[in-house]
A and B are shown apart, each in its own frame.
Chain A
Amino acid sequence: MSKACATETAVLHVLDEVVASARRQKVAEFDAYAICTRTRRVTIERELVSSADSIMATGLHVRVCVDGKVGGASCNEFDRRATSECIDHAVRIANLMESDKNWSGFPSSSKKYPSVSGLYDTSVASLDVPVMSMMAEEMIDGARSVSKDVSAPYGAVESTGRTVGVTNSSGMRSVMSETELQALICCVAGSGESISPDCEESGQSRSCDLRIDKIGERAGWIAEKSTHILDAKTEECDVVFSPMSLGAGNDGLLNVVLSEAFSGQNTHQGISFLAGRLGEPIWSEHVTINDNPLLSGRCGSRPFDDEGIAAQKTRLVNKGTLVGYVWDSYHGSISGEGSTGNAIRDLSSGTVGAAPLCLQVMPDRGSMKSLIESVDHGYLVWGCQGSHTSNTETGGFSFVASPGLLIKNGEVVGGVRGSMVSGNVTDLMKNVERVGADVVDFGSALMPSILFRNVKITTG
């Protein structure tokens, strides 16, 4: 990127404003995080492109420390008045707080940032509505190509250009720009008693290399398969989980549960089932997990975290043995572990905590199809209805496989209704039989399909 994009110009400007305002307001210790996002989106409704959105959004979060007392404020305007008021309010809140004996200052930029390539693609940043409309139609056509019985009630194609910047009084000043192209489609098929559940499929990429038609095809395939309803029974058996059912940001079982469980902050506070188990063989030896934000062109990749600390690859589970957690600077300092470059900042609540940036379940071999072929009797879980209600502290889960499909003699033979899958993530991960090689990028996770043994299935 030879020329600064509009979002980068805006972020650089507001970071300068923060530094100047802090100087004017005689604030010696501060940090600021700024984000500017430009999003274009076309929406699908009832199989047609129905609307186009253009969204410019900015956010600034400022923390100040006054005599060991930390306060924060945020705003969404980048002008001098708003920046100055934001610092002023952070100072006022800091002055009202008690001194934090654990406070060790805002981090300095002591470590050189890793080189992470493929984060910004001008072809994504410059995507316009006509092209995105065509992409949406291509996705719908992909779904319809499976069967005329398949319809697409909703979906969207979205391109985002974003710049994130961090500065602080310890000399930190870091800016990165990134792009992301996302596509989502929901398909249903059948009617009445045989109507399929919502069959969502999505894809995301830093560049324009998404096979949009294939996303539609996959959603259409699973919807069509789900209309042939077969009886399931209450049992313990082999279950293949699709990458989406494990890795999707909102309801992928492992992403939802493990993002919280690997947080050093949560383990330190005793609210993670992984607390105090470092060095123990906790899961199947087929399981190796990294937090890896350094891979080229991946949607969760980035050179630094939300405090400006260099991102790094951290091994979390090595062949089933728990070997690490992820830390932000504050909780890493309290625990004595130090930061692993995993600070995540919530602009609304003002909290800065630790979470994996890109949870990478290491792939092994074979496609999801080959995993299915190795199952004589079992199920394929494509989506986890209600997995967001999993207990991230205990690892307990109980969700409906939706879509859920029956596997017989190595083939998907039809859909099942209302089959519940329950257990605990620790037990589930002990029963990993095979890990596929079909990794899907969900931004916050890189997830392959996985075959588990002895999974509890309950039906009515």
Chain B
Amino acid sequence: MTPYPFLMEKDTPIRQMSALLDPLVKAVRSRVVSGLDYVELRADDVVETSIELRESSIESVTRKFECGHSARILKSGRWGFAVSDGVRDVSETITEAVKAASALSRTAVSDTSLHGVKPVKMDIPSKARIPLNEVDLAEKVSYLTSICRNATKADRRMTTTKASYSDITGDRVLVTSEGTEVRQSLSHAYLKTSASGNTSGRLVSARDEIGTVTRGWERFTEDGSGDKIVERLARKARLQMDGVSCKRGTHPCVISPKVSGMLAHEALGHLSEADLFAAGAFNGLEGARVASEAVTMVDSPWIEDGFGNITADDEGVLPKTVTLIDKGLIGAQMTNREWAARLDIEPTGNARAESYRVPPLIRMRNTYFERGDVSLDEMLEDKKFGYYCVDVSGGQAESNSSFQVSIQECYEIVKGELGRPVRSLAISGVATKSLALIDGVGRDFDFESSYCGKLLQAMPTSDGGPHLSFKKGGVVFGGSA
């Protein structure tokens, strides 16, 4: 029996998909689009459920209803974009976008064109086995409470546990003046948990995140997922409590799939986004060797349980896998239609928008290093002293390929064996130099789900790979924070 019998309500169904699609189709076929190079209309009608828990107390349960649309237009090679709430007056929104584009100064960009694509008409149903909007709030709260309670029980030094859960269900549509119509049922969910404690007067904290954009509630309940979260949280918090400080400077190291994923995404992936490539460290290095032949890195639109999975991008392009580093050589760039036209290459389906409120940007999906053939033991055995970085809590990269990654689980490597845990720290490096110092690519694979920020848009992505081994000089350890 649920311990929360007072929370027995399922989400309310929202309006029909056709009510969202029809006004857009009508507007894109109206006179208002005549004379325009391109019109792209997007609309969302979604319900977001948010639950905030601290220990066993519910801090907040909120349901948010959001319905709105946007128009992105290209007129005489100039972009205009307008947003409005609801799905009424779509023609007026197009007119507003046209006004904006027309008002740009004479010196503004006026040669924008789009790579041609075949229009698609597709329905993308949710693959959720247990739809998120059909699960009682009680069950969700009970699940979160159990994680918070068990995490605190796992170690008495942990004083505060928090859980922030949100899911989004509903419909998203895309209609273009070229005849593309994409209808998608959304099933997004994300859970962030944290545990904080105090040991010998020193505060510590650890966190864990899981999410899905393809599955339903089963993502949180299958395979003992809740127990695994507790186990990970408790382990990471204990390490923070018992860990030693890291020695500042550069050391040989091994990084886990989660950390290699962060490196793939932050330090290398962003540099391969076409809109950032030209001003970045990879510019002029097309086809150049930056790593050994063992290193290959891709951005894929679909992996099993990937948080960055898409079936079509937000310009209606069917997405492709892009090989960003091909056997150590700088490879292809991720593009949208605009950049594909500029570079005269096929679009890769990387145009993604957080919601109808913002225009699509070139974004990664699931970015990872391909497997190699070295075992973790083999990577460790030749290191007299170094570090094994296991889990991350965030990171950031610059266009000059400088990267910073915060590490929340780390161990010393002493004479080829794992040693003492190390308190939270951050690592950094310059990716174009670090890549050349990879001396082992693991035969395993895993990935992390997280949100990536670019120009204030948060996008679900997965980042992963195998274990990677670095020589001294590849990674700088900034000392425990």
Contacts and interface: CB of A to CB of B under 8 A. Distances in A.
Interface in A91-143: 92-93, 96-98, 128-130, 133-134, 137
A385 B404 contact: yes
A457 to B, nearest CB: 9
Interface in A44-96: 45-46, 48-58, 61, 71-79, 82, 85-86, 89, 92-93, 96
B60 A349 contact: yes
Interface in B84-117: 84-86, 96-97, 99-101, 103-105, 107-109, 112
Interface size class of A (residues with CB under 8 A): 35 or more
B215 interface: no
B284 interface: yes
B293 to A, nearest CB: 23
Interface residues of B, number: 94
Interface string A181-218: 00000001001100111100000000000000000000
B479 interface: yes
A393 interface: yes
B321 interface: no
B399 A391 contact: no
Interface string B384-420: 0000000001111111101111100000000000000
B428 interface: yes
A335 interface: no
Chain B, interface SS category: strand
A263 interface: no
Report which residue of B50, B83, B203 has the largest number of chain A beta carbons within 10 angstroms of its beta carbon. B203
Contact of A96 (B8, B109, B196, B250): B8
B335 interface: no
B353 interface: no
A347 B63 CA distance: 10
A423 interface: yes
A52 B476 contact: no
B383 interface: no
Interface stretch (B23-31, B274-282, B324-332, B373-381): B274-282
B441 interface: no
A390 interface: yes
A336 interface: no
Contacts of B12: 89
A385 B396 contact: yes
Interface in A445-460: 456, 458-460
A119 B426 CA distance: 40
A400 interface: yes
A420 B137 contact: no
B249 A234 contact: yes
B196 to A, nearest CB: 5
Given A153-B279, A271-B160, A348-B50, A49 B107 contact: yes
A129 B96 CA distance: 12
Given A77-B85, A96-B6, A188-B279, 16 more contacts: A51-B109, A57-B85, A74-B62, A77-B86, A98-B58, A128-B103, A129-B100, A129-B103, A271-B160, A348-B50, A349-B52, A398-B425, A400-B403, A422-B478, A456-B479, A459-B476
Interface of A: 40, 42, 45-46, 48-58, 61, 71-79, 82, 85-86, 89, 92-93, 96-98, 128-130, 133-134, 137, 151, 153-154, 188, 191-192, 195-198, 234, 251, 269-271, 273, 347-352, 385-386, 388-391, 393-400, 402, 417-418, 420-424, 456, 458-460
